[in-house]
Structure 1
C-alpha cells in the first residue's frame, strides 16, 4: 500500500491497490469533498461562535479502502476513512463513500384540454427500476442521474431525455432546492443548495428540478408501463404515472420524492 502527503498539508494518504496518487487527486468527487471538508474545518478557527472553536478538529490522515470503476479506467466510486481528531484526542466518524453529486427531476404533466392555470389533474412521472443496494427489483422513485462533467441543470435535462424520452430546454427547469435553501451567507460552510439523502456516510448531494408540461390527454395513458433508460448500460426502467397528490405515498421510500413534495408547496406559494 503506497502513501503520499496531500499537497500543501501534513495529511498522509494511504492508497489502495490499483489507485495512483494522480488518479485520486483528479477524481472530481474527491476534489470537491476535500475542498468542502477543508473549508468547514477552517471555520472552526475563524468563527469564534463555532461549536468547536475552543478545541478545533484537524484532518490527520486518509485511508483509501477500495474503489469501483466505470468501464476499464474511469473511477466511479471510492470508499475511504478519514482520521479527524482534536487536541483532546476526540475523533469524528470518518467513514465516507464518495460518489459525487446527482440530480433529481420532478416532471408534472397535465392534460392540455384543461384551462391554463388550472391545478386539476396533474400527474407526476416516476420510475420503477432495480436498486440492488436496497435489495429491491422494483424501487419507485423520481427520475435521477449522476452528474459527471456537466452542470446540475444540464444533467437534469439529459436524464429527462434518457429516462423519460422528453426533450426539455434547460431554461424550462426550475431548481426547487435553490428556492427552498437560502443562498450562501458569510461564515457558512459553502455547501451546495441541494439535499443530502445520506450525509452520515455519503457525499452525494441532489438538487431537485421541476418541469411542468401540458400534453394531449391521450398521451398520458401511454406513459405508464413504458420501458426506458439506456438498456445497453443495464438500465431497466419502467415509467409509472401517479396523481400529484399521491406522490407522498407512492414515492414514500424515495428521499427525492419526499423532498419534491415539500418543495412543490414552496414553488406554488
Structure 2
C-alpha cells in the first residue's frame, strides 16, 4: 500500500491498495467530484452558525481506498473506499463509499399517431428487461439507463443509450431533462451545495445520481407491436436486453422494483401538475 495527498486537499492522506496508482485516482472524475462536494459541505458547518453541526463540526481526516475495478488496462471504473469523518468528540459518520459516477435514465413515450387528444391511456413506455447480477436477477425490468462517459455529457449519453438499448435514433434537442425542470438552478437549493441534478438511488453508500430524460414519439399503431420483446443492446459487450411495452398507467407497478422508474413517474406527474410539461 502507499499514501499520497490530493493537490487540492493537501491535508487529507489518501491510502491506495496494491496495483492502484496516484494518477489513476486523480484522473477518476467521480472521485474528484465526490471529494469536492463533500469538502464543500463540511466547510458550511463552520461558516453557518445555524448549521446543526456548527457547535462540533465534522472533519474529513483520511481516505482509505480499499478496492477498485478497471475499464480497460488502466482507466478506473469503480472505487470502494472508507472515509474517516469525525468531530472533536470522536463521533464518527458512516464513511463506506462506492464511487461509480452519474448515470442517465430515459422515459420514452410511444404514442399512436392516430391519437388526436392528450390521452394518457394511449401513452406507452419502453422498458428494458435484462440480467442484473447485483440484484440476483436475470430478467430485471427497468427504465433504460446508462453510465455517463468521462466527458459528462448527460443529454448525449441519453441519446446514445436510447439508440443502443431501444434502437431509436434521436437528436439531443428532442430530449427533455425532467430532473432539471424539477430541480434546476434557482428553483431548489440543497443544504450542501454541489449535489447532482438527479435522483440518488442509494445515497447511504453510493455517489451515483441519475437525471431522467423524456422523449416522446408518435408512431403508427401497428409499429408498437415491433418493440414488444425486441432483442437489443450491445450483445458483444454482454448486454442481453429485451424490450417491454407498458401503458403509462401501469408503469408504477410493472417497474415498481426500479428506483429510476418510480422517480420518472413522480417527476412526470409532478411537472404536469405544475404545468411545466
Could you tell me the TM-score, scaled by structure 1's length? Answer: 0.96
Asked if 1:6 corresponds to 2:6, the answer is yes
Give the match for residue 53 of structure 1: 54
Candidates 142, 167, 173, aligned match of 1:171: 173
Give the match for residue 241 of structure 1: 245
Asked if 1:136 corresponds to 2:140, the answer is no
CA distance in 2, matches of 1:158, 1:150: 13
Choose 229-238 or 187-196, whichever is displaced more.
Answer: 187-196
Q: 1:266 to 1:42 in 2, by over 3 A?
A: same
CA distance in 1, matches of 2:246, 2:190: 42
> RMSD of the alignment, in Å?
1.4
Give the match for residue 183 of structure 2: 181
CA distance in 1, matches of 2:115, 2:193: 45
Give the match for residue 80 of structure 1: 81
- Give the SS at the match of 2:23: helix
CA distance in 1, matches of 2:73, 2:192: 39
Runs of 4+ residues deviating >6 angstroms: none
Give the match for residue 267 of structure 1: 271
- Give the SS at the match of 2:10: coil
- Report deviation, 1:69: 0.9
Alignment of 1:195-214 (within 5 A): 195-214=199-218
- Asked if the contact 1:63/1:81 (under 8 Å) is kept, the reply is yes
Give the match for residue 194 of structure 1: 198
Deviations 1:213-267 (A, max 9, x none): 1101111000011010111111110000000100000000000000011011123
- Give the SS at the match of 2:84: strand
- Give the SS at the match of 1:10: strand
- Report deviation, 1:139: 0.2
Choose 208-217 or 171-180, whichever is displaced more.
Answer: 171-180
- Report deviation, 1:175: 1.0
5+ residue gaps in structure 2? none
- Give the SS at the match of 1:11: strand
Give the match for residue 226 of structure 1: 230
- Give the SS at the match of 2:210: coil
